[in-house]
Amino acid sequence: MLKKSDKLLTEFDEGLWIATVDAVTVHSSHEITFIFKDGLELNSKI
């Protein structure tokens, strides 16, 4: 989807989110994990 677009993404895109994110796990009020459909997992402290 991003490769087909010729403009910079400037706001949330629900279709892109659904196409790329498989799950989000909330571990605590300070830590979450994003699991992408390609298997990549990103941990984030908030």
Q: Over the stretch 1-46, which tens digit does the pLDDT of each residue have? A: 667 777 888 999 898 899 999 999 999 999 999 999 999 999 999 9
Per-residue confidence (pLDDT) for residue 1, from 0 to 100: 65
Per-residue confidence (pLDDT) for residue 32, from 0 to 100: 98
Cα–Cα distance list, 26 to 6, 17, 36 (Å):
33, 17, 15
Q: b vs e for 7-28, b when ≥16 Cβ sit within 10 Å of the residue's Cβ?
A: eeeeeeeeeeeeeeeeeeeeee
Query: Is 0.85 surpassed by the pTM of this model?
Result: no
